[in-house]
Amino acid sequence: MAASQSAAAASLLKRQLKEIQASKDLPGISCGLVSDSNMLEWEVMLMINDDCKYYGGGNFRARLVFPPTYPLMPPSLTFQDPIPFHPNIYENGTLCISILHPPEEDQYGYEAASERWSPVQTPETILVSTLSLFHSPNDESPANVEAARMLREEKEGKHKDFRKRVRKCVRESLGED
């Protein structure tokens, strides 16, 4: 059972990877396999366009790792060094976004089941949603509490520490620091 499930996941992912690589409608997203022998682990580059208020110009590398039970269960997306300073990214690089949370009721009651993972999600929808988080960070339910606090304080006009910290991160992503 598990081997056939994994083979089905690999077959689906192979098709989805080809679609992303062939698409002209996904500016800022580049994907490939970490190893040609493993369809379940992708290397991703997210190139944030210049009109993004905080992260514009950044190039952030990440790994998208799919379980053998994909598409029934979600993959994980983990940013590689330098890890973006972002309210929705844990300090270890793991992205926290509702669509990557398992398809079950949220034990804390914060997310509706409809906001969580469902098999209609694809690597493309995950990556487009991730790009949108760079444009509109969610400071309501943060993975990085410090980043969320600094973003809120900046929105309130208290200081520009969030912007400074993020710009340093963007420079590091370009190999400038």
d(Cα 50, Cα 58) in Å, to the nearest integer? 8
Q: Is pLDDT of 19 > 70? A: yes
CB distance 31 to 123 below 8 Å = yes
Q: Is 7 helix (H, G, I), strand (E, B) or coil?
A: helix
pLDDT band for position 162 (cuts 50, 70, 90): very high
Mean pLDDT of 123-148: 94
Mean of pLDDT values over 3-12: 85
d(CA 165, CA 54): 10
Q: 13: helix, coil or strand?
A: helix
How high is the pLDDT of residue 6? Answer: 84
Preceding peptide of 71 cis, ω within 30°: yes
Q: Which domains does the chain have, with CATH numbers?
A: 1-174 (3.10.110.10)
Please say if the pLDDT value at position 68 is more than 80: yes
Instruction: Report how far residue 96's alpha carbon sits from residue 98's, in angstroms, rounded to the nearest whole number.
Output: 7
Residue with tokens 């994994």: 6
What residues does 30 pair with on adjacent strands?
45
Q: What is the pLDDT of residue 51?
A: 93
- Which one, of 114, 12, 30, 113, lies nearest residue 66 by Cα? 12
Residue 29 has pLDDT above 70, yes or no: yes
pTM, whole model, 2 decimals? 0.91
Residue 96 bears catalytic tag: yes
Average pLDDT for the chain? 91
Q: Does pLDDT of 1 surpass 50? A: no
Mean pLDDT computed over 124-144 = 93
Q: What is the pLDDT of residue 106?
A: 65
Mean pLDDT along residues 35-57: 96
Sign of CA dihedral 164, 166, 167, 171: positive
- In this prediction, residue 2 carries a pLDDT of 61
Q: What pLDDT, in 10s, does the model give residues 72-115?
A: 999 999 999 999 999 999 999 999 998 998 887 666 656 677 78
Annotated active-site residue in 31, 52, 96, 169: 96
What are the start-end ranges of the E strands in 36-114?
A: 38-47, 59-65, 76-79
By three-state DSSP, how is residue 63 classified?
strand
pLDDT more than 90, % of the chain = 77
